Amino acid sequence: MFAPLPDKPDHDGLERAILDVWEREQTFARLRAKNADGPRFSFIDGPVTANKGLAVHTAWGRTLKDVFQRYKALRGCHQRYQNGFDCQGLWIEVGVERALGLNSKREIEEYGLAEFARKCRDVVVWSAQELTRGSIRLGQWMDWGNDYFTFSDTNIEYIWRFLRIVHDRGWLVMGHRSTEWCPRCGTSISAHELHGSYVDRVDPSLDVRFRLLERPGEAIVIWTTTPWTLPANVAAAVDPDAEYGRLESGDWVAVARSPHETFVERLPGSALVGWRYEGPFDALGPGAGVEHRVIPWTDVSMDDGTGIVHIAPGCGSEDFELSRALGLDVLTPVDEAGRFYPEYGWLHGLSTVEAADQIIGDLEERGLLVEARTHEHRYPECWRCHTPLIFRLADDWFITVDEIRQQLLDANATVEWTPAYMGKRMDDWLRNMGDWNISRRRYYGLPLPIYPCSCGHVNVIGSRAELEARALSGLEQLEELRRPWIDEVPIACERCGEEVRRIPEVGDVWLDAGIVPFSTLGWQNDTYVPGGYATGAARGLTNADLPDHATWEQWFPADWVSEMREQIRLWFYSQLFMSVALSGQAPFRRVLGYEKMLDEHGKEMHGSWGNMIDASDAFTRMGADVMRWQYCAQPPDRNLLFGFGPGQEIKRKLLTLWNSARFLVDYGNVESFTPLLRDLERGPEGDVQPLDRWLVARTQTLVQEATGGYERWLTVDVVRAFEAFVDDVSNWYIRRSRRRFWEGDAIALRTLWYALVQGLRVISPVMPFLSEHLWRTLVSGACADAPASIFLAGWPEPVDPDAALLAEVAELRRVVALGHQARQSSGRKVRQPLRRIVVEGAPLAAAHADEIRDELRVKAVEFGAVDATELRVKPHLPALGPRLGRELGAVRAALQAGDFEELGGGRFRAAGHELGPDEVLVERSGKEGWAVAAEDGVTVALEIVLDEELEREGRVYDLIHQVNSMRKDAGLELTDRIELTLPATDADLLEHAEWIRAETLAVAVEADGGTVAIAKA
């Protein structure tokens, strides 16, 4: 006997109950023990930033990771299941600043770096707990409690070792460059961090005069959308090959940018090169010492502006590179906070945004402003705090890439990317990437172990042991390898012996995450250290071990990793770079990437827009299984539109599965049915009917399709295959077998049980809770020797299905679908019996004539040529006209007269010309008294003329449907008997009283009432 199932599942309650069962029975631990000697499947978890609770977009990635780890576990694979937390960087810092009401780096330093670091750690601790709680609720199985935290001293030491190696190779350099800078955070930004950080923005758009010194009354006119950069101007660039003209006003612009203007003088750009002009803000001081002149630049754009480019090397990367090539001066007008230095006079202390209006006003007062308007464009913002970025000259530490670039490309060529285009994007990034800016002027991050000495030597520390050996003081207060404590540990220069101190910068956070395949697996570590990863800030938060090098060799590289597409330039890149540098190979064999999540209407999710969905709310309102289904049904190359609306649609789909299982439970319990576990091997044996053999084959096909989907890392293929399978079970097998279930057919019950259980096994990685609940209902609760959990049952063995039978039934269903189409076109409902159907072009369906008769409710089924149709063929003029030319008229006339020959395959011959299927338009219609439907070479014709006998039978079917609906509404059990009363006007239906009694479980049928009525007998 099965435990009964309610009308529909309470997903939230069901899932919480399953979580309790898993915890109580230690299901995950038993699974790991079961697979301990199995083949290894190595997965490296991309660390989730520990600054918040679980969000629905984070749950997407966590779901995909869990799905494939569950699948591999069902295939018997031994896995590590180590979760990771990203613990440092501006994501953490900015949140703490806001919580403390701090608004600048100065205020952080006044607050105290030690206390600030402790507050940042508190956020990580809280967030790690919340993320763990949310992930468990999602159904993610990981080795919770043995997580890696990127702020552990162990992780930091591994990065130090990496930096020491690249330093020894000569790749670690100090760069003096104009770089993207966040004035709010007071630090530079790496190029790979800019991906996805561009937003639509409206800025001032100015045309400004630069007065020429040797040509009185004349000026060149430049264009800019960054007024704050004008005080740093040193040059103006023209295209030497373009034509420039002087307007009557004396202003010089590119002729191509003002084609309708009248020019009094025209010159090539090369003639303007060398002209000197008065800088727009020389009066403020720094610009006065610069000789402003016109320079040549072939990259000057004629798509916008005036065709003359304002050059400020201290405020733009291209400008800076131009200054290095041409020996231009470089002015840096703003400090780390993006505010003007004192030497810029009345601009002192103003931010770049605040200065814009005052600069525009000043230019207008002095007659230098030609035009001011606005300009909408894509502009980068800080990915942490969303402040618009500026360019600023800074001294940053870089890892040069030229020597390793080809090695990175070669390594990426060994990786299997899904979708494939993401691998090509990685190639594009690797070919075009600049040097890696690894330094940040912040606090809560990896302390860069760089100690420059006044003697010119750069000391780079490679480990804590080396730090302790060379430290001159401060070790006693070194709580962890982090600011401010690390700043108080000076060392002796290895060249001259003088005391040197560490640079104040911290490292790019992607160093923290990129080293994980080495730090968590014990690369070059001699001894396995229990709890050895729980060091520094991670002490007390995890029990993770530090393995030895033999462990690294067993588990490296990862068989598979997965994150969003934006991680191509972030985590995937940092991993690849560090792995190739350290081991000469890619850190992963396969990658699954996926696109962005939007709300169900296609909009970005933002709290201020009211469309952000909290994961805990989603768990309550739709359940984790439904969330996981949304994630897994999504092709990875498209944006996911996530929401409660799609969730309701998924619940409706899953209800078909639930109802099929409930159908089995209800009818199985009536018959005291006990399933046989051995049926799961190849299906039931005994007196099986063709429909049973078809469902077994259909189930075997599902196992093959699902296995292929998982092996291709495409959950969407698994979901699509399962949805089609459930539809086939419900709308074909169960519907076609209802009478057998009614009669207690054991083979039908065994076949349906086999199909549903095998279906649950293959969908369980996607939908673990509902699958587990139904497994415990249908299998472990009914079979004494069955595994307690579906996840301890292993993967169903793929078996080649009966392809011939599947082809037969596919053709049968195509005939049935066309028959329903013909019925619909004629207005004959399915409950109305018809006299006959003629089928042409479906020879495989001939063996299933009885099923066609039942499905389409016809008295006779004939196979042969359909002559109950009228065929009309017209020329498809766009395709046929160019080929036939003058002959088209003759062909058209022949077709219209019906003077043509049908050749098969959609081809015809008319007027001596053979016409292909794409050159004609074919219309088939039934002759009077017939309804016809045709598709893909199959044609069916239904005789739709009714006689008195057929009409009466149609009324009986309507009555049976009505009575059984009344039974359901009255809450009667499947076996309850009734007394049935019909209206006196339906007395003629008593001719079929036995039929009516059998179909409604009526013990008596009378026709002496005013309406249809039932009463429990």
At 151-208, the pLDDT tens digits run 999 999 999 999 999 999 999 999 776 677 776 776 766 666 666 667 777 788 899 9
Q: What is the pLDDT of residue 304?
A: 84
Q: What is the DSSP string of 910-939?
A: ETTEEE-TTSEEEEEEEPTTEEEEEETTEE
Q: What is the pLDDT of residue 351?
A: 85
The domain of 569 spans 401-434+556-594
* Contact by Cβ (8 Å): 726, 759: yes
**Pair (952, 815) in one structural domain:** no
Q: What is the pLDDT of residue 464?
A: 96
Residue from 802, 897, 824, 811 nearest 852 by CA: 811
pLDDT tens for each residue of 358-369: 889 989 989 999
**Pair (821, 738) in one structural domain:** no
Q: What is the DSSP string of 156-203?
A: HHHHHHHHHHHHHTT-EEEEEEEEEEETTTTEE--GGGGTT-EEEEEE
φ/ψ (deg, to 5) at 655: -65, -30
**Pair (277, 319) in one structural domain:** yes
Residue 198 one-letter amino acid: Y
**Pair (968, 866) in one structural domain:** no
* Contact by Cβ (8 Å): 433, 496: no
Q: Band of the pLDDT at 501, cuts 50, 70, 90?
A: very high
pLDDT tens for each residue of 208-227: 999 999 999 999 999 898 88
Query: What does each C-alpha distance from 235 to 154, 303, 311, 330, 557 come to in angstroms?
Result: 50, 20, 5, 10, 51
Structure tokens at 784: 């004494």
Structure tokens at 967: 């039974």
Q: What is the pLDDT of residue 195?
A: 62
Pairing of strands 978-983, 1002-1009: parallel
* Contact by Cβ (8 Å): 236, 295: yes
Element (H, E) at 593: strand 590-594
Q: What is the pLDDT of residue 178?
A: 64
Angle between the N-to-C axes of helices 644-670 and 624-632, in degrees from 0 to 180, rounded to the nearest 10: 110
> Is 310 a domain residue?
yes
pLDDT tens for each residue of 994-1011: 999 999 999 999 998 789
pLDDT tens for each residue of 400-445: 999 999 999 999 999 999 999 999 999 999 998 889 999 988 899 9
**Pair (746, 825) in one structural domain:** no
Q: Band of the pLDDT at 868, cuts 50, 70, 90?
A: low
Q: What is the pLDDT of residue 898?
A: 87
CA 202 from chain centre, in angstroms, equals 30
> Is 91 a domain residue?
no
> Is 488 a domain residue?
no
pLDDT tens for each residue of 593-619: 999 999 999 998 877 788 889 899 999
Name the domain boundary from 921, 943, 965: 943
Non-local (6+) Cβ contacts of 680 within 8 A are: 754, 757, 758, 796
**Pair (243, 200) in one structural domain:** yes
**Pair (382, 409) in one structural domain:** no
Report whether pLDDT(383) > 70.
no
- How buried is 277 (Cβ within 10 angstroms: 0-12 exposed, 13-18 middle, 19+ buried)? buried
Name the domain boundary from 737, 763, 793: 793
* Contact by Cβ (8 Å): 491, 470: yes
- Rounded Cα gap, residues 841 and 882, in angstroms: 33
**Mean pLDDT, residues 494-505:** 95
Residue from 1000, 913, 1006, 1007 nearest 961 by CA: 1000
* Contact by Cβ (8 Å): 859, 885: no
DSSP state of 843: G
Least confident of 264-278, 898-912, 957-971: 898-912
Residue 192 one-letter amino acid: H
φ/ψ (deg, to 5) at 673: -75, 130
Q: Cα torsion at 128, 132, 133, 139 (round to 10°)?
A: 160
DSSP state of 281: T
Rg of the chain over Cα atoms, rounded to whole angstroms, equals 38
Residue from 277, 167, 157, 174 nearest 218 by CA: 277
Give the bridge partners for 252, in sequence order.
220, 246
Query: What does each C-alpha distance from 951 to 825, 960, 1008 come to in angstroms?
Result: 19, 15, 21
Q: What is the pLDDT of residue 189?
A: 65
* End-to-end C-alpha distance for the chain, whole angstroms: 27
**Mean pLDDT, residues 578-583:** 98
**Pair (661, 780) in one structural domain:** yes
> Is 35 a domain residue?
no
Name the domain boundary from 758, 793, 828: 793
Residue from 804, 156, 251 nearest 446 by CA: 156
Q: Which residue's structure tokens are 């930091």?
A: 156
Q: What is the pLDDT of residue 869?
A: 65
**Pair (897, 983) in one structural domain:** no
**Pair (966, 891) in one structural domain:** no
**Pair (742, 761) in one structural domain:** yes
Query: What does each C-alpha distance from 491 to 456, 458, 459, 502 come to in angstroms?
Result: 15, 12, 9, 8
Number of domains in the chain: 5
Q: Higher pLDDT residue, 305 or 778? A: 778
Give the bridge partners for 310, in sequence order.
236
> Is 781 a domain residue?
yes
Q: Band of the pLDDT at 134, cuts 50, 70, 90?
A: very high
Q: Band of the pLDDT at 1, cuts 50, 70, 90?
A: confident
Residue from 647, 639, 644 nearest 564 by CA: 639
Residue from 792, 762, 654 nearest 34 by CA: 792
CATH number at residue 767: 1.10.730.10
> Is 788 a domain residue?
yes
Q: What is the DSSP string of 934-1003?
A: EETTEEEEEE----HHHHHHHHHHHHHHHHHHHHHHTT--TT--EEEEEEGGGGGGGGGHHHHHHHHTEE
- Average pLDDT over all residues of the chain: 92
Q: What is the pLDDT of residue 651?
A: 96
Residue from 486, 457, 458, 464 nearest 473 by CA: 486
* Contact by Cβ (8 Å): 729, 699: no
pLDDT tens for each residue of 320-343: 888 888 888 888 888 888 888 888
**Pair (295, 309) in one structural domain:** yes
Give the bridge partners for 451, in sequence order.
459
Report whether pLDDT(727) > 90.
yes
> Is 886 a domain residue?
yes
Secondary structure (3-state) at 677 = coil
> Is 217 a domain residue?
yes
